[in-house]
Amino acid sequence: MNLWNGRDFMKSVIALIFGGKSAEHEVSLRSAKNIADALDKDQYTPILVGISKEGSWYSFPNESVFTQHSKITDANLPADAEPVAIVSLNGKPVIYSLKKQTSTPIDCAFPILHGPLGEDGTVQGLLKMAQVPFVGCGVWSSAAGMDKEVMKRLLAHASIPSAKYILLTPFNNVSYRELTEALGSPFFIKPANAGSSVGVHKIKNETDYQVKLKDAFLFDRKVLAEEFIEGREIECSVMGHNHDPRASLPAEIIPQHEFYSYEAKYVDDNGARLQIPAELPSEIVQKIQDLAKKTYHTMGCDGLTRVDFFLKKNNELFINEINTIPGFTKISMYPKMWEATGIPYRNLISQLITFAFEKFESEQELKTSYLD
Ligand SMILES: Nc1ncnc2c1ncn2[C@@H]1O[C@H](COP(=O)(O)OP(=O)(O)O)[C@@H](O)[C@H]1O
Ligand SMILES: [Mg+2]
């Protein structure tokens, strides 16, 4: 039995939010299906809320939404889709049906949206306004975690190493020569706010630079030129409250392409080998876990985050990026690393929901008036 907010009820209603206006819409649907399947139905009742590719919100009465189509589009909706909004009604969060004009109370939201307009603080802000406890990082930490340039500035402030970079915008003109002088050759370019390796390129000559920079700018107005770090790609799952996180055993991605590109991730079935857990000496595992937790703390994460590293031959560690809503598909690294650490998928989901309730409760303790 759950006791929350003075209410006593048998099961918590969890709004699973998936889809969204991002290149990772389809991955989100696969993650959400697995979470819906794994959710402990003795403790939780899921409500399925999908955001279409156009950005419209719907609720779906059953899991067939995950199997009928590979994506949700306004023009090709399942017949039982209902337009909805998540709002605060009489101080309590509800899912409001725009057609029936009825409201269904919810206890918690589990956003499983990847990339911009989902992982970047936007949905988190909406959920905060609707006064709904939600799984995962809050507004600023999601936004700063999404923007690789802001992340690097925060990491640098905490003396956490990440690749040297130069910021490129449509308003500054940095030549190839200037970049190779500062960063060496080859170097990487990547949009500051993107994911799934879209717009990420390894640059080896000036023509490459001119062509690939245009591509990177298609995804964001901010592009990073970054020194090439030659090393192993290691990831580590972290969960818990910001002051008290726990890190999983790390795992290794071994790309079979020149780097872990979009093709290696999603197009080529043999694009990468996953080593879970990674084969590493115990003192390096410890160093990775410590740095993952320090990064989590520095970035204000609360709930969950996947921290991605480069490990050089001399054992030097660099943070590559963080993912505040990592994939949750059956083969995704985040839940797999927890499984390898002894936490099964179902328990992981329950644990993440518990963190959401705890965080919300502690936020409720803060005063909202000066004189009362
Ligand atoms: N500075 C770098 N040095 C070496 N490889 C890099 C560098 N930056 C990116 N990569 C390669 O590109 C991949 C995708 O880049 P990443 O920054 O993780 O973007 P995304 O958020 O799209 O996953 C990485 O997994 C790695 O293989
Ligand atoms: Mg990455």
In the reported structure, the alpha carbon of residue 11 is separated from the centroid of ligand 1 by a whole-number distance in angstroms of: 41
- Kindly report the CATH number that applies to the domain delimited by 2-136: 3.40.50.20
* Ligand 1 site, residue 197, Cβ cutoff 6 A: yes
Any atom of ligand 1 within 6 Å of the Cβ of 27: no
Place 280 in a pLDDT band, splitting at 50, 70 and 90.
Answer: very high
**Per-residue pLDDT reduced to its tens digit, 321-362:** 999 999 998 789 999 999 999 999 999 999 999 999 999 999
pLDDT(277) > 70 = yes
Mutate to test the pocket of ligand 1, among 179, 188, 252 (most ligand atoms within 8 A of CB): 188
- Identify the residue with better confidence: 367 or 56: 56
Average pLDDT, the chain: 94
Ligand 1, atom nearest to 196 Cα? 22
* pLDDT of 212: 97
Best probe residue, ligand 1, of 166, 183, 189, 200 (max atoms within 8 Å of C-beta): 200
pLDDT tens per residue across span 89-135: 999 999 999 999 999 999 999 999 998 899 999 999 999 999 999 99
Per-residue pLDDT for 39 more than 70? Answer: yes
Please report the atom of ligand 1 found closest to the CA of residue 255: 27
Question: Does residue 196's CB lie within 6 angstroms of at least one atom of ligand 1?
Answer: yes
The CA 322 to ligand 2 mean position distance, Å, reads: 8
pLDDT score of 22: 86
pLDDT of res. 331: 80
- Who wins on pLDDT, 369 or 251? 251
228 CB near ligand 1 (under 6 Å): yes
Nearest ligand by distance to the CA of 163: 1
For residue 151, give the ligand nearest its CA: 1
**Gap between the terminal Cα atoms of the chain:** 33
Hey, do 2-136 and 144-159+230-324 end up sharing a CATH topology, with the first three levels equal?
no
Contacts of 102 (CB under 8 A, 6+ apart): 96
Mean pLDDT of 84-89: 97
Quote the pLDDT of residue 9. 56
Q: What's the CATH code, domain 165-227?
A: 3.30.1490.20
The pLDDT > 70 percentage for the chain reads 98
Ligand 1 atom closest to 264 (CA)? 27
Query: Are 161 and 154 spatial neighbours (Cβ–Cβ below 8 Å)?
Result: no
Name the residue ranges covered by the structural domains of the chain: 2-136, 144-159+230-324, 165-227
- Regarding the beta carbon of 216 and ligand 1, being less than 6 Å apart is answered no
Report pTM: 0.95
pLDDT > 70? residue 7: no
Binding site membership of 154 for ligand 1 (Cβ less than 6 Å)? no
Rounded distance from Cα 321 to ligand 2 centre (Å): 6
Q: 233 CB less than 6 Å from ligand 1? A: yes
Q: Which residue has the CA at smallest separation from atom 12 of ligand 1?
A: 260
Residue 190, ligand 1, Cβ within 6 A: yes
**pLDDT by residue (tens digit) across 154-168?**
999 999 999 999 999
Burial 266-283 (b: 16+ CB within 10 A, else e): eeeeebbeeebbbebeee
One-letter amino acid of 276 = I
Q: What is the pLDDT of residue 1?
A: 40
Selected from 1.10.8.60, 3.30.413.10, 3.40.50.2300, 3.30.470.20, the CATH number assigned to the domain covering 144-159+230-324 reads: 3.30.470.20
Percent of the chain scoring above 90 in pLDDT: 87
149 within ligand 1 shell (Cβ under 6 A): no
Pairwise CA distance, residues 19 & 17, whole Å? 7
Structure tokens at 150: 């802001």
Cβ(133)–Cβ(107) under 8 Å?
yes
Binning pLDDT at 50, 70 and 90, where does residue 372 land?
confident
Strand 44-51 and strand 12-19: the pairing is parallel
Ligand 1 atom, smallest distance to 308 CA: 18
Do residues 133 and 356 make contact, with C-beta atoms less than 8 angstroms apart? yes
Structure tokens at 270: 């043999």
Position in ligand 1 atom list of the atom nearest CA 195: 22
DSSP secondary structure of 163-188: --EEEE-TT----HHHHHHHH-SSEE
The pLDDT of residue 8 is above 60: no
Which residue CA neighbors atom 8 of ligand 1 most closely?
188
